[in-house]
Amino acid sequence: MTERRRIHLAAHFPGVNSTTIWTDPASGSQIDFSSFEHFGRTAERGLFDFVFLAEGLRVREHAGRIHDLDVVGRPDSLTVLAGLAAVTRHVGLVATLNTTFNEPFELARQLLSLDIVSGGRAGWNVVTSNDAFTGANFRRGGYLDSADRYRRASEFADVAAALWDRAGTGQDTTFRGDFFDVVARLDAPPSPQGRPVILQAGVSDEGRDFAARHADAIFSPFSQLQPAQEFFADIKGRLVSYGRSPDDLKILPGATFTLGDTPEEAEERFRYERREQVSGATALRTLEAVWGRELSDFDPDGPLPPLDLVVQGQQLAEGRARIHQDQRGIAEEWHARAAVDDLSIREVVMAKDPRPRFIGTPDQVAGYIDEFVQEGGSDGFILVPTITPTGLDEFTDKVIPLLQERGSYPTAFEGETLRSHLGVPPVESVRGELVAEQPARRL
């Protein structure tokens, strides 16, 4: 029998997103530290590689007003993780942080500091942004062309890596690129894990190249086996061209889960969750983002608005990760979906579950996850429960032991650092040279 591939799981804190159900009686605070403490301790009990925090640097808006139907309000990621470092011992701590609205010296120093206080458990999910909406909270405003997002991110990651590699040596890193012109050093102890772990989420060609060059793990959107296998093969192939081994980067799709004692119970629970996630108001708001106009006169339990009402190019939703490009195309698809089962507005939106989901008994869910990994779909998953902060408890108590029985999940933390949990060595430090040789170019 061949050795089973080890499953890596991470725990995404359910905060500001449309998956989180705040109407459930079990729903607790999305902001009190006790919620993070509970979630972090559960993740640690479940031997999750890391706790994952998303980020949004501007409160979301819809049609010029603050979006009020989902959970709103979150802490500063690095700061709350510094608190979490004090009340956990093993679990990794990963923050999503934007390269557009931060500076390399400052962010590299903050991440290294989290790495030091946590004993080598820090990770950074590198994201980019170019929207002027978010920029309105920052000195530069919306200043970056979409095409330059990854170029800036790549220079940013280069500078950060060079600073980390020389931390505590007193050596300066001089970088003169298109986006940064710095002479910097980190007078801090070196990282206990060589370098903080880098995650990345983009799937464009540029995003994939960025990941193959810089990342230790990818937060992937591919949760259907075949496209996931293709993505997996593509990324692992690119690694080789950067002189890295396929195991040096872990691919972790995001997913949620719905458990029940029987398959029927799980299905019933799923229907309940979708109803709670998609109130009538949420259904109309979701539709407005596609139609590009106010639709408050429509009945969420009635039929979809006609296609000729779509205002192509009108963005009502601001500050969301997903912005609809082809609004008309999506509207047509929704009409087609509604026609099949004679669905109302709310039912169509409920049917469009935006997040991949495992539904079933603990045994079934353990099976889905295990098979996906064994068949080369991914190295594991980043799981986001629907309830804050206790949504991970049942999974930890019921599914984790079954994964362990299958022999594909660890029974203890074997190392001390996030790198050791993930099994990813620090990317070879060749970039110190590259950095020093960058010619002086300014925009």
Partner 1 sequence: MTDVRIVEETWDGASATLLRERMDAEIRPRYADLFAERSAPPVVVDPEDIVFTLVAYAAGDPAGTVSLKRTGGHSEIKRVFVDPAFRRIGLAARLLAAAEERARALGVRDLVLQTGSRQPEAQALYEREGWAPIPPFGPYAGDDEVSRCYAKPIVPLTLGVELAVRGDGAGLVADVVAQIAAWEAAGADFAVVPDRYLEAAGEVAVDAPTLATFAAAQTSRIALVPEIATTHTEPFHVAKVVQTLDFVSRGRAGWQVAVTRGAQEAALFGRKAPASDDALWAEAEEALEVAARLWDSWEDDAEIRDVETGRFIDRDRVHHIDFEGRFFSVKGPSIVPRSPQGQSPVVIRVSGDGPELAVAARRADVIRVAADRVPAARAALAEAGREAVVVVDVPASAGARDVLSQVAAVRIESGADGAVVVFAEAPSDAEGFASAFASTFASVFASAGAAASTSFRGRLGLDRPASRYARQESNV
The answer to whether residue 75 forms part of the interface with partner 1 (CB under 8 A) is yes
SS3 content of the chain, % helix, strand, coil (to 5): 40, 15, 45
Q: Any contact of residue 74 with partner 1 (CB under 8 A)?
A: yes
CB 67 within 8 A of CB 75: no
420-439 residues in contact with partner 1 (CB under 8 A) are none
Locate tokens 């989901």: which residue?
Answer: 357
Burial classification of residue 338, based on how many CB atoms lie within 10 Å of its CB (0-12 exposed, 13-18 middle, 19 or more buried):
middle
Cβ closer to partner 1: 117 or 351? 117
Q: Which is nearer to partner 1, 46 or 300 (CB)?
A: 300
Binding residues among 29-58 for partner 1 as defined by CB under 8 A: 31-33, 56-58
Q: Which of 26, 233, 240, 281 binds partner 1 (CB under 8 A)?
A: 281
User: Which of the stretches 277-285, 364-372, 395-403, 430-438 binds partner 1 when contact is defined by CB under 8 A?
Assistant: 277-285
Amino acid at 259: L
19 binds partner 1 (CB under 8 A): no
Question: Cis omega before residue 389 (within 30°)?
Answer: yes
Read off the DSSP letter of residue 247.
G
Q: Taking the mean position of all CA atoms in its chain, how far away is CA 241?
A: 26
Q: CA 45 to CA 59: how far, in whole Å?
A: 32
Q: Please report whether residue 113 would count as binding partner 1 according to CB under 8 A.
A: yes
By CB under 8 A, is residue 363 in contact with partner 1?
no
Cα–Cα nearest to 122, from 188, 29, 45, 33: 188
Q: CA-to-CA distance for 43 and 10, rounded, in angstroms?
A: 8
Determine, following the binding rule CB under 8 A, whether residue 345 of this chain makes contact with partner 1.
no
Instruction: Give the Cα separation of 420 and 379 in Å (integer).
Output: 15
Interface with partner 1 includes 227 (CB under 8 A)? no
Comparing CB distances to partner 1, the nearer of 110 and 200 is: 110
Q: How far is the CB of 29 from partner 1 (least distance, A)?
A: 9
Residues 5, 6, 45, 59: which binds partner 1 (CB under 8 A)? 59
**Contact mark string toward partner 1, 153..192, x via CB under 8 A:** ---------------x-x---------xxxxxx-xxx---
Q: Which is nearer to partner 1, 117 or 225 (CB)?
A: 117
Closest C-alpha among 77, 64, 90, 65 to residue 16:
77
* Interface contacts to partner 1, rule CB under 8 A: 22-23, 31-33, 56-59, 65-76, 78-80, 82-87, 101-103, 105-106, 109-110, 112-114, 116-117, 136-139, 141, 168, 170, 180-185, 187-189, 279-282
